Amino acid sequence: MSNKRSHDTNLMWGGRFSSPQDNIMEAINSSIDVDYRMVLQDIEGSIAHVKMLKFQKIISTKICNNIINGLKVIRDEVNNGKFIYDRKFEDIHMNVEKKLYDIIGDDAGYLHIARSRNDQVVTDFKMWVRDSIQDLVSKISENMKTFLIIADNNFNTLMPGFTHLQTAQPITFGHHILAYIEMFDRDKNRFIEAKNRLNECPLGSAALAGTSYPIDRFFTSEKLGFDKPTSNSIDAVSDRDFVLDFLSASSICATHLSRFAEELVIWASDGFAFIEISDSFSTGSSIMPQKRNPDAAELIRAKVSNITGSLFSMFTILKGLPLAYSKDLQEDKELVFRSYDNLSLMLEVMNKMMKEITINKDNLRKMTSSHFITATDLADYLVKHFDYSFRKSHQIVGKLVLKAEKLDCDLKDLKLSEFKKMDPNIDDSIYKILSIENSVNMRSSYGGTSPSEVKKRVKEWKKKLK
Ligand code: ARG
């Protein structure tokens, strides 16, 4: 009886076992519930592998064709949602191989010549990560396009800029939005770099030492869209740097989304009222009828935790792990799949939410005219016109702010006599300097907030994102 069970359950490696596994062993050992997501990559990898085996005359054309036909049947079943994954067969590799036995019989046994699950899994996984990077990059690009339209429409919309979340200087809304386009662009490049770096094919490294069969690793590498085969079989099966790369690129991108989501939450709050998030991305309160909560933004803000958490989990799995393959590495896929799912959702929601956002331009303008927002312009004016040191003019303006605060008015509401009391050189051109429009227009240094600069950057991004 024990024999039967070991044959049934471990067709692939049961030969040297005489008693069955404990039931709970399946629960800890089986990864099919997670790695079924690599089924198409697994089939593609196997097709390339048997083609190579045939090409190298390691297997006959007949066996090769049988295997490929069987794999294609499996692929069809997968695509039609008919393929049944079975925990009994541990992982995706053995599920596919077992199914191949069911379809073509013993010829299936030739598929695993000159490979091991160790090189197979990392090949499948690299292909999966490569595909998911492609998808994330295009989702980031979609966000960039949406953000760019907003930046373009608001190249001269005034808003208060903050440091320490305290009113700092007037800026343009378009400029603020363009800041995120810069971040997204770096995110995209980080993913593309990660993809380029991972693109070496591990297949043929076998368990860890390579193989004695006359295989052609360049053949499979090319068939599977890799740049070249990996050059060290031990590294190939134990390397998960590409997972760290993927998770760190994802963490950084998710962090950017989280930062922006936080700004949306603040901007949508009653105290700010800079924007309105549409009904379709808000929720109500079960007790307070007046409430409209920015839940989608809050969830984007929070979901980054899954991704950075996965990055740290992966570091912890790899830390101190000796070469070459150990089963610890099976835990990598859940982290990547979960991170991809989260990031992909965050990007989709952000994009849609932003398409429907309302910008309260009037309120933004109003909020920009408070809190002595043009004090720096006044200090700069004194430096430029009277050759004062910046520290001296900083002092003078500081005193003027104090004065205005006492009188409960803004700097521009102070009488000329008040200004003159502080510094007799000041004349009434000061009022132009204190205007918000003047303040942003003047900040036309390269990459600055002036509408003219923002227009230029928008134009450049339009070209790049075409
Ligand atoms: N399911 C395994 C994983 O994801 C495949 C490799 C198993 N290799 C082994 N020698 N047990 O890592």
From the number of C-beta atoms within 10 Å of its C-beta (0-12, 13-18, 19+), residue 415 rates as: exposed
* Residue 124 and residue 104 share a domain: no
* Residue 292 and residue 148 share a domain: yes
Picking from 60-64, 167-171, 368-372, 379-383, which range would have the lowest pLDDT averaged per residue? 368-372
Tell me, in angstroms, the distance from the centre of ligand 1 to residue 340's CA. Answer: 21
Q: Which of 309, 331, 357 is the last residue of a domain?
A: 357
pLDDT score of 10: 67
Q: What are 148-188's pLDDT values in tens digits?
A: 999 999 999 999 999 999 999 999 999 999 999 999 999 99
pLDDT score of 372: 87
Q: Which of 357, 378, 399 is the last residue of a domain?
A: 357
279 pLDDT more than 80: yes
- CATH of residue 434's domain is 1.10.40.30
d(CA 142, CA 136): 10
How much is the average pLDDT of 367-388?
Answer: 89
- CATH of residue 43's domain is 1.10.275.10
* Residue 294 and residue 150 share a domain: yes
pLDDT score of 5: 42
Give the list of residues 6+ apart from residue 240 with CB closer than 8 angstroms, or none. Answer: 122, 314, 317, 318, 329, 332
For the chain, percent of residues with pLDDT exceeding 90? 87
255 pLDDT more than 60: yes
* Residue 378 and residue 319 share a domain: no
Judge whether 3 lies within some domain.
no
Band of pLDDT at residue 15, cut at 50, 70 and 90: confident
Judge whether 1 lies within some domain.
no
Q: Which of 113, 128, 147 is the last residue of a domain?
A: 113
Judge whether 418 lies within some domain.
yes
d(CA 193, CA 187): 10
From the number of C-beta atoms within 10 Å of its C-beta (0-12, 13-18, 19+), residue 184 rates as: buried
Judge whether 7 lies within some domain.
no
Q: How many C-beta atoms surround the C-beta of residue 394 within 10 A?
A: 16
Active-site hit among 18, 164, 212, 280: 164
- Active-site residue flag, 285: yes
* Residue 328 and residue 230 share a domain: yes
pLDDT score of 21: 82
* Residue 413 and residue 301 share a domain: no
* Residue 125 and residue 274 share a domain: yes
Judge whether 129 lies within some domain.
yes
Burial of 269-286, coded b for 16+ CB within 10 Å and e otherwise, reads eeebebbbbeeebbeeee
Number of compact structural domains in the chain = 3
Tell me, in angstroms, the distance from the centre of ligand 1 to residue 210's CA. Answer: 17
* Residue 371 and residue 348 share a domain: no
* Residue 340 and residue 233 share a domain: yes
- 39 close to 100: Cβ distance less than 8 angstroms: no
How much is the average pLDDT of 413-417?
Answer: 92
What the block records as the tokens of 362 is: 């009037």
d(CA 307, CA 255): 9
Domain boundaries, position 316: 118-156+171-357
Q: What is the pTM of this model?
A: 0.93
* Residue 191 and residue 75 share a domain: no
Band of pLDDT at residue 8, cut at 50, 70 and 90: low
Judge whether 13 lies within some domain.
no
Judge whether 163 lies within some domain.
no
What the block records as the tokens of 449 is: 């907030």
Q: What are 96-129's pLDDT values in tens digits?
A: 999 999 999 999 999 999 999 999 999 999 999 9
What average pLDDT is seen over the chain? Answer: 94
Q: Whose CA is nearest to atom 1 of ligand 1?
A: 91
Out of 330, 331, 333, 337, mutate this one to test ligand 1's pocket (max ligand atoms within 8 Å of CB): namely: 330
Tell me, in angstroms, the distance from the centre of ligand 1 to residue 106's CA. Answer: 23
Judge whether 8 lies within some domain.
no
